[in-house]
Amino acid sequence: MAKAIHSMIRVFEEARSVEFYDKAFGLKVADRFDFGGFVLIYLRSPDADFEVELTVNKDRSEPYQLGDGYGHIAFVVDDLDAEHARFERLGLSPKPVKEMGFEGKPLAKFFFVDDPDGYKIEVLQRRGRYT
């Protein structure tokens, strides 16, 4: 079977993105490869093998246009309300907490936040299928 190992996003400013993902999710740089014209930065949590790969193209002079095809990446947390408050204290501008159900049962409690390049990130309460 295949195993998901990372999701890649193109970012405009390396330092700004690395700081955001560390501050927001505790992701640390696991590896950094500078190929001259571009840099690959792999961010990882000590709790999981899955990584976020940041790609920085050095010749880029303007931020990326995300278009309408990108959805989001999701992180699960133990205390969603506490994380939402922490994001607010850090000035990360999280969207309001929302809840949704399916067939009359609770399904998800979550909020979204945008990273510095405008990528949508969903933060979910750990429960049910989101563990």
Q: Which amino acid is at 49?
A: D
Catalytic-role residue among 13, 14, 53, 122: 122
Q: Please count the helices (runs of H) and the strands (runs of E) in the chain.
A: 2, 8
Beta strands in 1-129 (DSSP E): 6-10, 28-34, 38-44, 51-57, 73-77, 98-102, 105-114, 120-125
- R_g of the chain computed on alpha carbons: 16
Catalytic annotation on 122? yes
Rounded (10°) CA dihedral 23, 65, 123, 3: -100
Residues marked active site are found at: 122
